């Protein structure tokens, strides 16, 4: 059974644990590296600041009571768009619906904010992630460059309009 938990700054140890596991497992899939967040980068205040990022929404998925994945939503330059970031599912939880739950939660949050577009970046060689995003109706961006400065593919999804945003 998949359960979700919305994180607050005091949940930084859990975010830290999962983020470091994600970077160790799939570092090339992210804009940051494991080295960026270890050593001098591994500071409580830095982890708390990430969870306090203005307008962000950070969630952890638990599978059978154990942390199994993470995702974040952050506002971007236009008020009607948000970005799905830090998406990762533990190898032992892949194929068990964890990614689906995480995406749906970020979509729910984005719609509640009044966003009409959810975007993300994914490395072109990450076929399992691309299949997951495509299954959730993400498509190659027509308005943004296909590849972002990190060499990632930009995908977007149009969200349903909420009658009473914010």
Q: Return the half-sphere exposure (C-beta side, CA atoms, 13 A cut-off) of residue 55.
A: 17
CA distance 131 to 144: 20
C-alpha pair distances (Å), 54 with each of 32, 77, 91, 114, 162: 20, 13, 30, 16, 22
Q: Which of 2-6, 23-27, 56-60, 114-118 has the lowest mean pLDDT?
A: 23-27
Decide if pLDDT at 147 tops 60: no
- The pLDDT tens digits for 66-120 are 999 999 999 987 778 999 999 999 999 999 999 999 999 999 999 999 999 999 9
Nearest to 100 by CA among 77, 122, 69, 121: 69
Domains of the chain: 2-158 (3.40.630.30)
Phi, psi of 29 (to 5 degrees): -80, -15
pLDDT tier for residue 164 given thresholds of 50, 70 and 90? very low
Nearest to 110 by CA among 78, 132, 68: 78
């Amino acid at each position: 059974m998949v359960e979700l938990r919305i994180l607050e700054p005091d949940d930084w140890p859990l975010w830290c644990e999962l983020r470091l596991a994600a970077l160790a497992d799939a570092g090339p899939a992210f804009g940051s590296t494991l080295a960026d967040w270890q050593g001098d980068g591994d500071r409580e205040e830095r982890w708390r600041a990430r969870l306090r990022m203005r307008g962000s929404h950070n969630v952890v998925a638990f599978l059978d009571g154990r942390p199994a994945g993470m995702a974040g939503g952050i506002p971007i330059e236009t008020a009607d768009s948000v970005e799905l970031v830090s998406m990762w599912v533990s190898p032992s939880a892949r194929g068990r619906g964890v990614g689906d739950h995480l995406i749906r939660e970020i979509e729910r949050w984005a719609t509640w904010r009044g966003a009409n577009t959810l975007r993300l970046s994914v490395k072109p060689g990450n076929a399992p992630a691309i299949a997951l995003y495509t299954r959730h109706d993400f498509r190659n961006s027509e308005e943004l460059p296909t590849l972002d400065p990190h060499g990632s593919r930009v995908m977007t999804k149009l969200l349903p309009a909420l009658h009473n945003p914010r």
